[in-house]
């Protein structure tokens, strides 16, 4: 490596061209080693060397070579600030001439990945990295390969590097634009409050009545203690009893009045809050639901649907309770603290200064105690959730538990988990039983100190008895609000947290978006043309690999292939439930990505492998795609799907309620309902994904016959394992590992004696062996 460092010093202002920038400290270190960093074309950070040792690893390339550097990265906290600083060291720099590797690729393992270089057709390991760095290395490979193929490079983007928050120095998790810890907090709060935008007047009334209500309640000790003592009790004997009693009467009346006003005002704001919150929560839930409809299938595949619903509900409830039970009291308690402090000062400056000295101690005890308990609570809560999820798992699985006669083992399993819950609960209770008395002891000691000091002031004549007693009452009034305010921040954090998750759903962009200028076909014919299609559910695991396939208008294509070959995936891509990564699916010459979503969806009917029936009657389910269908159409569709006969056997016929909680249908019956559902939609393209797999051969035959009648003018794609299902197909395609390995008519494929022939032979021999010749 020649020393080039000096000449590049002046060029630091120039924007680096490479994709995935390295930290500038690392660039500086590389420069010291004599590497020109302003001409680097791409760079990437990793965390392991080629043997899998943990270290800081940087890879980069320019027009001359490929560079691998090993070093270390230690995070040190800067003195006097919360910011973290990273200290970089460079240990070695390795240079490979750019000509050595024709191509770079990544391989994905369980928790690691590997960067591999192709040298004369052979694979060479270049470096390992933790799986979290995969995306960065993939981009790096892509840029390298583009460069090697001589194509122009895309503009520099700052992707793929491990991003760190500028404020707190913490790494930003993938899938987040900004640090979830710092950045979003304010905007989330803003948006949360925006839900109340429509209720400005109500909110104003609430705040005003809170202010007044709380203000009034602040006067109470003045009347009930100070005036009572100083104006009545202490004057007993010195003034006429009648006058004192009259004053007493006034005091009692005043007290009632104050109480009454206080109750009135809190009733007012509670009434208003009670009226607003359900509506706000309704708005939030509605927003979430709308967002969930808009999201694409991929979103649901990556999360469990059950847990989304649970989360949404829990999050909405969290927000609800905080706004009903938390926020109003934050306001009230803050007013209390401020007001009480004012009164305290007016009563005695000296004592108040003492209190101000003591309060931090109480707050600290509360905060630390709270934190300690939070952990215990957390564990208790988790165990509780686990016990209930286990119980529900058990109830759902009763049939299987009984079938395997596993009741006793299940009981043991349950006993173990609930034993742990018991442990957590015990620990919590015991700790509470020991810690709380100690906490209160601290508080009692502090208030005794206060009492003693105050009494001294009374003795010296600096305060009246009434004033001291009032003072102590005020101090006691502080305890609740301080306690509340010391832990409400956690509650608040949880609420913001929930809000953030809610907004995450509300904001998530569907991966499958309608084009901005959707094409409306004048006549939807249904010719499908798939070319060079590549698709992956997870990065670096392609399921469809450069697949080409075409189906003519009105043709019936059969797709066969091993399980997991990608057949369902192809169906999903034609219906555009997912978007292709590379290549295209065209219908009537137009890419599905450009087609109007409405037209596409109403013209592509998908009978999918796993059938979902919605809660409702069978008739509702059949006319799902066409709610205005009349009953004649519904029955005709059911007949075409050979569903009519079994439906008529049900006591409630078409009115039978199905879906969760409804009548259980058999697998084949459900398939027939779902075929009817698709038939009534009358789509131009009909995709049957194992639509008849759960049926007996005779029923399948019936459906096929009616489908053949419906087939005219319709493009049909039938996916099946049973070859007999596909005997009406005009053409067949054999899929394996995401590619079409063979296609042609039934006869052609048999004659070719390849994959299809093998499949056919296996199946017919199986039939022959039991005496059936097809």
Partner 1 sequence: MSETTTAVQTGALTNIGFLELEKCEFYRNPNGFLCLRYEGEEHNRVQALRSLPLTQPDAFLCIQDMENQEIGILETLTTLPEGMAELVQEELERRYYCPGITDITSIKEKMGFYYFDVSIGGFKKTFSVKDLGKSIKELRRGGILITDVDGNRYLIPDLAKITPRCARQIEPYLY
Ligand X SMILES: Nc1ncnc2c1ncn2[C@@H]1O[C@H](COP(=O)(O)OP(=O)(O)OP(=O)(O)O)[C@@H](O)[C@H]1O
**Binding footprint of partner 1 on the chain (CB under 8 A):** 48, 50, 52, 54, 72-75, 109-112, 114, 122-125, 128, 130-132, 134, 170-171, 173-175, 180-181, 184-185, 375-376, 378-379, 382-383, 385-386, 493, 496-497, 500-501
Q: Two tokens at 392?
A: 């529900």
Binding mask 269-308 for ligand X (x = CB under 6 A): --------------------------------x-------
Please tell me whether residue 120 binds ligand X under the rule CB under 6 A.
no
Work out whether 658 is an interface residue with ligand X (CB under 6 A): no
Q: Which of 568, 603, 608, 681 binds Mg ion (CB under 5 A)?
A: 568
Residue 533 touches ligand X, criterion: CB under 6 A: no
User: Pattern 567-606, binding to ligand X, x per CB under 6 A?
Assistant: xxx-------------------------------------
Buried b (16+ CB within 10 A) or exposed e, 203-226: beebeebbbbbbebbbbbbbbbbb
Nearer to ligand X, 280 or 559 (CB): 559
Instruction: Give the DSSP H or E segment for 701.
Output: helix 697-711
Distance CA 16, CA 736 (A): 44
Q: In sequence order, which residues have a C-beta less than 8 Å from that of residue 144 and are 6 or more positions away?
A: 42, 61, 66, 103, 104
* Residue 566 interacts with, from ligand X, Mg ion, partner 1, none (CB under 5-8 Å by kind): ligand X
Smallest gap from residue 602 Cβ to Mg ion (A)? 23
- Does 692 sit near Mg ion (CB under 5 A)? no
User: What six digits make up the tokens of 300?
Assistant: 């649901």
Taking the complex as a whole, the smallest distance from the CB of residue 188 to Mg ion amounts, in Å, to 40
Give the span between the Cα atoms of 572 and 719, in whole angstroms. 12
Nearer to ligand X, 565 or 658 (CB): 565
Per CB under 6 A, which region of 59-67, 209-217, 537-545, 638-646 contacts ligand X?
Answer: 537-545
Question: Residue 662 contacts by C-beta under 8 Å, 6 or more apart in sequence?
Answer: 615, 656
Q: Does 725 bind Mg ion (CB under 5 A)?
A: no
CB of 292 to ligand X, least distance (A): 17
Query: Residue 543, interface with ligand X (CB under 6 A)?
Result: yes
CB 686 within 8 A of CB 526: no
β-bridge partners, 736: 739
Q: In whole angstroms, how close is the CB of 162 to partner 1 at the nearest point?
A: 9
Which of 144, 148, 149 is closest to 126 using CA atoms?
144
Tokens in use for 224?
A: 């009930």
Whose Cβ is closer to Mg ion: residue 609's or residue 682's? Answer: 609
* Stretch touching ligand X by CB under 6 A, among 330-338, 384-392, 564-572, 670-678: 564-572
Size of interface with ligand X, in residues (CB under 6 A): 13
Q: Are 685 and 574 a contacting pair, CB within 8 Å?
A: yes
The distance of closest approach from Cβ of residue 322 to partner 1 in the complex, given in angstroms and rounded to an integer, is 15
Exactly one of 86, 341, 609, 724 binds ligand X (CB under 6 A); that residue is: 609
Q: Each residue of 129-151: b (16+ CB within 10 Å) or e?
A: beebbbbbbbbbbbbbbebeeee
Handedness of CA 342, 348, 351, 354 (dihedral sign): positive
Cβ of residue 123: shortest distance to partner 1, in angstroms?
6
DSSP assignment of 60-98, as one string? EE-SSEEEEEEEEEEEEEPTTSS-EEEEEEEEEEEEEET
3-state secondary structure 319-340: HHHHHHHHHHHHHHHHHHHHHH
Q: Does 610 bind ligand X (CB under 6 A)?
A: no
* Shortest Å, Cβ 166 to partner 1: 15
Select the span of 200-208, 565-573, 620-628, 697-705 touching ligand X (CB under 6 A). Answer: 565-573
Least Å from the CB of residue 692 to ligand X:
14
Range in contact with Mg ion (rule: CB under 5 A) among 164-172, 451-459, 514-522, 602-610: 602-610
Report the C-alpha gap between 252 and 254 in whole angstroms: 5
Closest CA to 677 of 716, 621, 633: 621
Q: Minimum CB separation from ligand X for residue 312, in Å?
A: 21
Which residues in this chain contact Mg ion in the complex, by CB under 5 A? 568, 609
Q: Which residues bind ligand X (CB under 6 A)?
A: 301, 537-538, 543, 561, 563-569, 609
């Amino acid at each position: 490596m020649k020393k080039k460092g000096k000449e590049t010093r002046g060029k630091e202002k120039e924007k680096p061209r490479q994709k995935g920038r390295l930290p500038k400290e690392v660039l500086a270190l590389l420069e010291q080693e004599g590497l020109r960093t302003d001409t680097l074309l791409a760079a990437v950070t990793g965390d392991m060397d080629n043997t899998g040792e943990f270290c800081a690893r940087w890879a980069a390339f320019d027009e001359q070579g490929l560079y691998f550097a090993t070093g270390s990265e230690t995070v040190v906290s800067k003195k006097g600030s919360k910011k973290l600083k990273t200290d970089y060291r460079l240990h070695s720099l390795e240079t490979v001439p750019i000509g050595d590797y024709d191509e770079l690729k990544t391989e994905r393992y369980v928790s690691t990945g590997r960067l591999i270089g192709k040298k004369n057709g052979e694979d060479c390991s270049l470096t390992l990295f933790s799986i979290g760095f995969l995306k960065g290395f993939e981009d790096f490979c892509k840029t390298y390969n583009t460069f090697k193929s001589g194509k122009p490079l895309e503009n520099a983007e700052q992707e793929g590097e491990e991003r760190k928050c500028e404020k707190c120095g913490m790494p930003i998790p993938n899938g987040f634009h900004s640090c979830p810890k710092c950045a979003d907090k304010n905007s989330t709060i803003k948006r949360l409050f925006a839900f109340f935008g429509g209720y400005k007047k109500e909110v104003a009334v609430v705040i005003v009545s809170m202010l007044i209500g709380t203000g009034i309640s602040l006067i109470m000790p003045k009347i009930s203690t100070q005036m009572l003592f100083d104006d009545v009790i202490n004057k007993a004997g010195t003034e006429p009893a009648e006058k004192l009693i009259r004053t007493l009467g006034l005091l009692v009346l005043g007290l009632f009045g104050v109480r009454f006003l206080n109750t009135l005002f809190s009733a007012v704001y509670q009434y208003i809050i009670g009226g607003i919150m359900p509506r706000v929560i309704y708005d939030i839930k509605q927003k979430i639901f709308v967002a969930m409809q808009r999201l694409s299938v991929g979103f649901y595949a990556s999360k469990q649907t059950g847990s989304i619903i649970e989360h949404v509900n829990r999050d909405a409830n969290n927000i609800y309770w905080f706004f009903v039970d938390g926020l109003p009291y934050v306001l009230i308690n803050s007013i209390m603290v401020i007001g009480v402090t004012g009164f305290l000062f007016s009563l005695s400056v000296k004592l108040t200064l003492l209190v101000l000295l003591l309060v931090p101690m109480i707050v600290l005890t509360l905060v630390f105690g709270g934190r300690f308990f939070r952990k215990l609570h957390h564990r208790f809560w988790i165990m509780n959730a686990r016990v209930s999820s286990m119980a529900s798992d058990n109830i759902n699985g009763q049939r299987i538990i009984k079938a395997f006669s596993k009741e006793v083992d299940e009981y043991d399993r349950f006993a173990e988990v609930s034993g742990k819950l018991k442990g957590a609960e015990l620990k919590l209770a015991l700790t509470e039983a020991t810690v709380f008395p100690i906490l209160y002891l601290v508080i009692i000691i502090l208030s005794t100190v206060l009492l003693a000091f105050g009494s001294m002031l009374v003795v010296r004549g600096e305060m009246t008895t009434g004033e001291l007693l009032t003072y102590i009452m005020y101090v006691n009034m502080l305890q609740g609000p301080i306690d509340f305010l010391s832990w409400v921040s956690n509650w608040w954090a949880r609420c913001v947290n929930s809000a953030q998750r809610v907004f995450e759903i509300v904001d998530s962009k569907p991966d499958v978006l309608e084009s901005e200028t959707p094409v409306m076909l004048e006549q939807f014919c249904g010719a499908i043309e798939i070319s060079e299609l590549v698709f992956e559910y997870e990065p670096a695991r392609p399921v469809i690999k450069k697949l080409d396939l075409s189906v003519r208008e009105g043709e019936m294509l059969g797709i066969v292939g091993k399980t997991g070959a990608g057949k369902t995936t192809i169906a999903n891509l034609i219906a555009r439930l997912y978007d292709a990564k590379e290549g295209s699916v065209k219908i009537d010459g137009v890419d599905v990505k450009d087609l109007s979503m409405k037209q596409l969806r109403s013209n592509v009917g998908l009978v999918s492998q796993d059938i979902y029936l919605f809660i409702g009657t069978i008739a509702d389910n059949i006319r799902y795609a066409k709610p205005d269908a009349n009953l004649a159409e519904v029955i005709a569709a059911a007949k075409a799907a050979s569903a009519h006969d079994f439906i008529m056997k049900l006591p409630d016929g078409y009115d039978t309620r199905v879906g969760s909680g409804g009548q259980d249908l058999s697998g084949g019956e459900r398939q027939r309902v779902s075929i009817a559902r698709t038939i009534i939609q009358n789509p131009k393209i009909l995709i049957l994904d194992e639509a008849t797999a759960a049926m007996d051969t005779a029923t399948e035959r019936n459906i096929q016959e009616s489908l053949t009648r419906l087939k005219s003018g319709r493009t049909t794609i039938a996916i099946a394992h049973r070859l007999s299902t596909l005997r009406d197909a005009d053409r067949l395609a054999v899929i394996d590992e995401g590619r079409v390995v063979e296609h042609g008519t039934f006869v052609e494929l048999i004659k070719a004696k390849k994959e299809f022939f093998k499949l056919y032979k296996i199946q017919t021999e199986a039939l022959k062996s039991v005496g059936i010749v097809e």
